[in-house]
Structure 1
Amino acid sequence: MLLKGKKIVLGVTGSIAAYKSALIVRALIKEGAEVKVIMTAAAKDFISPLTLSTLSKHPVLIDIFREDTWSNHVMLGRWADIMLVAPLSCNTLAKMTAGLCDNLLLAVYLSATCPVMLAPAMDEDMWKHPSTHRNLQTLAADGNIIVPVTNGELASGLFGEGRMAEPETIISSLVQQFKSAGRLSGKKALVTAGPTYEHIDPVRFIGNHSSGKMGVAIARELLQCGAAVTLVLGPVPGTFVLDGLNVINVQTAEEMYNACHSVFEETDITVMAAAVADYTPVAVAPEKIKKKEESWQVALQKTPDILKSLGQKKTGRQVLAGFALETTNERENALAKLQQKNADIIVLNSLRDSGAGFGKDTNKVTVFDRNGGEKHFDLKSKAAVAKDIVDYIIEYIHV
């Protein structure tokens, strides 16, 4: 049994595809999983809770409060090894993206500390609407696993995209997810993400537009593959918390350098995804510099080269990956960086590629390694790109 002992929360939303949830539950039970089903109120119009409770051998949960009982959404979110929402309606998709919490399914989703897999289902026109794709990109960037829709007959009678993946495809995706989860068990990883801010005075700094999304996505993927992950995170908007992740917050290139060197010796995999400033002011003014002169010059000096310094220290058991963000001669510059920094892997992305670069939820990369390997990846969500990069690293070290 491929899913023996796995604990799965299945969320069912209001879609004609909800009839397939019975087949999903039956298949999960057959593969040895324990399943608890949560339905939205709208889902009851498409499939009976009695059917799903009979198949799952657990009461179906719908309401947070019912008479004198309370469904503990926090414990449900922590109980599961994975949460699967199939079908995911357009309405629930939008609510998840906005962080709304007006039913039990959404409360469990927001409380879940496990991976979340989403299988959308909707009519073709709804599927192709720009807001739907924005919402899916946002959820993918948050680390959710999206099961692609298929072409086929839809509830409207039309044929096209938007049909939920078949139950066997969804089960296969779950099995692959659990197989991936242990591939880096026992390994320690270090990831850097975000920009650095090099201070000029108490209110001004030299920085860049990095959002940290790519590095955070890589840290999340490494964690889901079983590694113990330390994320050295530059100043990015908001806060980032993920259960089991050790986060070291830094501001400057020097602070990032020190943080990386403090843990590097113990790491097996290091991915340097941060956009570190190349130069920093020679002196930082203790007070805000007033606008007096017609021109103003700031003396700069090089920041420490973190990737190169780690390349000089790494041993044969360690894998070191860096990023090359280029605008011209991309391939040549990336390969030169691979050699000059003594890295094992370089991930190239170009600002000339539409949809790639700072602040975006998508990216397009080419990966090179010191053994002559080269692989191009199409434009994808940064979560999907992170999986490609981590898969490449795992293949490189033959885990």
Structure 2
Amino acid sequence: MSRIVLGVAGGIAAYKACELLRRLTESGHEVTVVPTAAALNFVGAATWEALSGRRVHTGVFSATDQVNHVRLGREADLVFVAPATADLLARGATGRADDLLTNVLLTASCPVVMAPAMHTEMWQHPATRANVATLRERGVLVVDPAAGRLTGADSGPGRLPEAAELATIAGTVLEDPTILGRGRDLAGRRVVISAGGTREPLDPVRYIGNNSSGRMGIALARAARLRGAEVTLVLAHTEEDAPSGVGIERVASTADLDAAMARMAPGADIVVMAVAAADFAAREPAGAKIKKDGSGTLTLDLVETTDVLAHLGRERVGSRPVLVGFAAETPRCAEELIALGRTKLERKGADLLVVNDVGDGRIFGQPDTSISILGPDGVIAEGQGSKERCAHVVLDAAARVPAR
């Protein structure tokens, strides 16, 4: 069980922190809420206490016998501020200690994550930009806000990401605090990631598909965005929500995927093909629903679809983009998995190939994974744990690929 301090600043988005609090507590964490005085104008202390099951303190002179202004920061495994207003960002960046939350920020030796929420003009103001840069230089993970509906009729960047996304980020940082050390190492880079599973129609109601959930590709998009990249997610079928702040290109079939990737890859610095593309399609999809004819069998005439990763490898000019492929295999042993991966890496023309064993219901649709990353000289990295954590391992490897 991890100890989390959930800081809540005084913005209308404070109501979203209630759902974040519920998600964190239901995940087994011990959460202490520290709202600012302004935050209590939006959500009262009774709500925070009921949802957290813990006493809420709002001032440095509350529970002075426990020395809360120092103890909370020292004992926390994570300090997560959502929403972080422009005012709180400014006070945090300048080292103010004028309320309990800013004291916690000054005494915390654990990872600190801040999720800003404010009107677009405030987010884009040079003062706010400077404060965010200062906090990031000090190792604080400042999550870029989402774009969308704000207070009133306003719309634009400055919206607090949804609670599910923030809870995912919190869980990833707790699992692997070294993620904060990456900082904004992908700033200025364009990253294109494919995710989900393509579908090939057999008739108007049936299709050939696969069990991919899209979670790995979505985790990669979120990780790249956190690290400052400009991210486009080429998204096939998935029931998962895409992360905020990334461009979305929807595709259905493998042919759609091939066209989208051919269009986007030349302008990218890194391309990650995490999609599970259907390998076969009907030669001639039926124009009407295929009916049972009483024979008890159905014969399908299938053809291979385009190998999109190999296509990208053949068409690549020079050393960019860095090309990362994925290979889901069902080997008999670990040695066979690596052997299959090495053969496929050479055939596809990629820089790196991420291989995993998906046999016996592993990996597909699951929150955790186990990966080996192959380069020209063999296994260069391995990862195990949540797909969010392993996404950073993949991006680490891609960022280290030298120019050819």
Question: In which range does the TM-score fall when normalised by the shorter chain?
Answer: 0.5 to 0.7
2:260 counterpart of 1:212:
no
2:49 is aligned, of 41, 52, 56, to 41
Q: Deviations over 1:293-326 (max 9, x none)?
A: 4122111111011000101122213210001111
- Misfit runs of 4+, over 6 Å: 12-17, 35-39, 76-82, 114-118
* Mapping of residues 120-139 of structure 1, within 5 Å: 139=167
Unpaired stretches in structure 2, ≥5 consecutive residues? 9-16, 61-68, 70-87, 103-115, 136-158
Amino acid at match of 2:339: E
State the SS of the aligned residue for 1:147: helix
What is the match of residue 10 of structure 1?
A: 7
One-letter amino acid of the structure 2 residue matched with residue 340 of structure 1: R
Matches of 2:217 and 2:31, distance apart in 1: 36
Q: Is the 8 A contact 1:356 1:364 kept in 2?
A: no
Cα distance, 1:75 vs structure 2: 3.3
SS of the counterpart of 1:339?
helix
What is the match of residue 288 of structure 1?
289
Paired residue for 2:338?
Answer: 331
Of all paired residues, the percent bearing the same amino acid is 26
- Mapped to 1, the partners of 2:260 and 2:165 lie a distance apart of 33
The aligned counterpart of 2:59 is 50
Q: Displacement, 1:372? A: 3.8
Deviations, residues 134-178 of structure 1 (Å, cap 9, x unaligned): xxxxx54x77534259xxxxxxxxxxxxxxxxxxxxxxx5xx656
Q: d(CA) in 2 for partners of 1:257 and 1:267?
A: 15
**Amino acid aligned to 1:321:** V
Would the alpha carbon gap of residues 309 and 266 (structure 1) be closer, same or farther in structure 2, given more than 3 Å must change?
Answer: same
Superposition deviation, residue 219 in structure 1: 1.0
RMSD, matched Cα? 4.1
Amino acid at match of 1:326: E
Alignment of 1:61-140 (within 5 A): 75=118, 112-113=160-161, 139-140=167-168
Which residues of structure 1 form unaligned runs of 5+? 1-7, 26-34, 62-72, 83-110, 119-138, 150-172
Give the whole-Å Cα distance in 2 for the aligned partners of 1:194 and 1:311: 21
Tell me the equivalent position of 2:80: none
Q: Deviations over 1:10-60 (max 9, x none)?
A: 2597998859x89xx9xxxxxxxxx98997236796463111699743587
Residue identity in the other structure for 2:7: L
Q: What corresponds to 1:306 in structure 2?
A: 308
CA deviations on 1:56-103 (whole Å, 9 max, x unpaired) are 435879xxxxxxxxxxx9639996969xxxxxxxxxxxxxxxxxxxxx
Structure 1 residue 189 and structure 2 residue 191: aligned? yes
Is 1:358 matched up with 2:360? no
Equivalenced residues, count:
292
Contact 1:271 1:322 in 2 (8 A): yes
Corresponding letter in the other structure for 1:387: H
What is the alpha-carbon distance in structure 1 between the residues aligned to residue 220 and residue 53 of structure 2? Answer: 38
- 2:400 alignment partner, SS class: helix
Question: Equivalents in 1 of 2:262, 2:185: separation in Å?
Answer: 25
One-letter code aligned to 2:398: I
Q: Report deviation, 1:181.
A: 3.7
The whole-number CA distance in structure 2 between the counterparts of 1:143 and 1:217 is 13
Aligned equivalent of 1:375, options 376, 381, 384? 381
Once the two structures are TM-superposed, the CA of residue 342 in structure 1 deviates from its matched residue by 0.8
Query: In the alignment, which of 138, 145, 152 is matched to residue 172 of structure 2?
Result: 145
Structure 1 length normalisation: TM-score? 0.62
**Cα distance change on mapping 1:226 and 1:16 into 2, 3 Å:** closer
User: What letter matches 1:10 in structure 2?
Assistant: G
> Measured at CA, do residues 36 and 317 of structure 1 come closer, stay the same or move farther in structure 2, by a change above 3 Å?
farther
Q: C-alpha displacement at 1:212, in angstroms?
A: 0.4
**Matching residue's letter, 2:344:** K
Q: Aligned letter for 1:262?
A: R
